[in-house]
Amino acid sequence: MTNALTKDYILSIFNNHRPVNVPIVQVIDYITTENTPLHVLSDGKYFIYGVQIEASALVANGIYCLDNYERIAIDGYVFVLINKCTLVASPMQKIGDPLYIDTDVVPETPPANIPKTIAEVPSDAKLVDATLTKGFAEDFANCVYNHNPVMRVESVHQHEFGERYKGGPCTYGSTFLTLFDGIQTMEAMFMDPTDIKLDTIIEILEYSAYTLWKGNRYDVPPILMIKKYIVLKAEPKEEVTKHVKTDLPLVCDSTTSTLDLPKEPTPSKPVITNIADVVPYRSRLTICVRVLSRAILADGTHSVMVFDATASIRITFTKRAFFDKLVPGQSYYITGIRLILNRYRVQSLSMGNTAWIEPCAPEDYVQTIFDFTPLDRLNSGDEVDVIGVVIGISEHTGSTGSYKNGHTTIRRTITLVDDTGYSVIVMLWGQRAIDLDVSIHDIIAFSRVKCNEIFDVYVLGTVDTSDTVVNPDCNQATHLQNWFNGRDPNTCWVPAFPGITAYVTNKTCLNK
């Protein structure tokens, strides 16, 4: 009897594909609503709600042939509108153990505004599709073009010609937007101005791929050029789906009229991608990184330098809230990044306004591994890790001499000393000089600082990949603290100078 049902009919209905033959389904439940009764139709694997135009109820557990039916969606929920059906058999029990189909919107109860007659069905109801075309963004990046993809609008931006892009087929007031396919996002644009709204679900009828010249590089991946589309759902009441997947299956018992789902599912731990494994044409990836530094660029955009166990890279974005949330020295999960390349093949990551940032779990904290160099072993031009006791902190100072556009660069100096008896000045630049919170006699560690010779003494300077840790939890910090506590705070320390390595070596030999 199981073979009598049309295999995967319900799945094809949700994917907007009509079977070649007349479908055969089983009625496994009957639900009473305010307007019209609903029947639960099963193909042995999945089930769906069916609306019967005729007044008579269908036989429980009866097997029917759907001679005439339509696929409609009301309030984003997909139904089968049964115009005519024929009873084929009447078994005493249901066939199989069907599950509710995995949709983007799962109703806890069927909506009340079900049409009583075919005249009450909205004129555009047959065009509505509540299921997003999952995987379209990745297929588009791989030059695999799907027929009439269904997407949700995540963000909308109006741009003037030449304001952001150069060389693209843009006119004054062209619209750029971010689309979501149920798995990941992608960039899209309209050649002409449009008044499309946020969270609108659209079906794209005609489109093409276009690579825009953006600043001094070609934008990667190519952008989706929308030529013709229709609106399926203009004003959804809530988000169609969350970006964070859960491990809870969207299923219910076929013998009940409501879904047995928790109202607030707990997101599972995201799948982490290493920075070294990020490749072009992929988006909505999640990385777990430690923030090294952050900066506001001259064009108003923001950037942070991050790293993990595999590599370090810069992330650029425009949303100010992200800049305030990403604190140097902390570790975060960041979802919604994609790799971009400039004309010199220098890699960086881009983060859109729909990205998701959350402090990472304690077991995923990204730790900096230090290899400290004593201050009497410094050499000009080396990139070293140092640790010492803070004995001097300067105020913030500004300098405009190195910029033609008049931008002020913030500078700050910190003087530290270690158990060799020598001191060194560390220069901090930009936002790092403002963000650093340190006090006199604190232990501070720097990684990947550049050693330079200025006025016959060594000066260390931070770079983008430098990391700073105040009062680190390590043996060297404990040793320095114990060593410094027994010293006179007014001691005059000798600055580290070129040739100090040979001087210390000769002094050691003479003492022997």
Q: What is the pLDDT of residue 414?
A: 93
Residue 499 lies in a domain: yes
Q: What is the pLDDT of residue 413?
A: 92
Please measure the distance between the N-terminal and C-terminal CA atoms of the chain and give it in whole angstroms.
Answer: 98
CB 186 within 8 A of CB 155: no
Q: What is the pLDDT of residue 368?
A: 85
Same domain, 25 and 116: yes
Look at residues 103, 127, 151 and tell me which one is the last residue of a structural domain. Answer: 127
CATH number at residue 79: 2.40.50.140
DSSP label at residue 166: B
Same domain, 114 and 226: no
d(C-alpha 375, C-alpha 57), whole Å: 89
Same domain, 442 and 415: yes
Stretches in the chain below the pLDDT threshold 70? 1-4, 7-21, 32-36, 53-57, 73-77, 100-131, 158-174, 191-193, 212-221, 233-270, 281, 283, 298-300, 341-346, 398-408, 500-512
Domains in the chain, number? 4
Q: Which residues contact 205 (CB under 8 A, 6 or more apart)?
A: 148, 227, 228, 229, 230
Look at residues 107, 127, 147 and tell me which one is the last residue of a structural domain. Answer: 127
Four-point Cα dihedral 164, 167, 169, 171, nearest 10: 50
Q: What is the pLDDT of residue 34?
A: 60
Residue 324 lies in a domain: yes
Residue range(s) defining the domain that contains residue 55: 2-127
Same domain, 330 and 438: no
Q: Which residues contact 377 (CB under 8 A, 6 or more apart)?
A: 501
Look at residues 127, 150, 169 and tell me which one is the last residue of a structural domain. Answer: 127
CB 40 within 8 A of CB 66: no
Q: CA quadruple 144, 150, 153, 159: dihedral positive or negative?
A: positive
Same domain, 106 and 35: yes
Q: What is the pLDDT of residue 311?
A: 86
- C-alpha dist (Å) from residue 303 to 20, 41, 315, 336, 443: 54, 53, 5, 15, 28
d(C-alpha 327, C-alpha 323), whole Å: 8
Residue 212 lies in a domain: yes
Residue 260 lies in a domain: no
Residue 58 lies in a domain: yes
Nearest in space to 313 (alpha carbons), one of 329, 327, 292, 286: 292
Please tell me the pTM assigned to this model: 0.46
Same domain, 402 and 483: yes
> Which H or E run includes 213?
strand 213-214
Strands 383-393 and 24-31: unpaired
For residue 53, how many C-alpha atoms fall within 13 Å in the half-sphere facing its CB?
A: 15
* CA 368 remoteness from chain centre: 24
- Which backbone phi and psi does 251 adopt, to 5 degrees? -135, 165
Same domain, 498 and 403: yes
Same domain, 387 and 484: yes
Same domain, 217 and 193: yes
Residue 248 lies in a domain: no
> Locate tokens 């073009």: which residue?
145
Burial (CB count <10 Å: 0-12, 13-18, 19+), residue 254? middle
Q: What is the pLDDT of residue 255?
A: 36
- Which backbone phi and psi does 415 adopt, to 5 degrees? -105, 130
Same domain, 318 and 406: no
> Quick one: residue 481, left, alpha or beta (phi over 0 = left, psi -120 to 50 = alpha)?
alpha
Q: What is the pLDDT of residue 386?
A: 93
Same domain, 320 and 223: no
At 242-275, the pLDDT tens digits run 333 333 333 333 333 333 333 444 445 668 888 8
The residue type of 311 is: A
Same domain, 179 and 79: no
Nearest in space to 382 (alpha carbons), one of 443, 321, 460, 309: 460
For 21, other C-beta atoms within 10 Å of its C-beta total 8
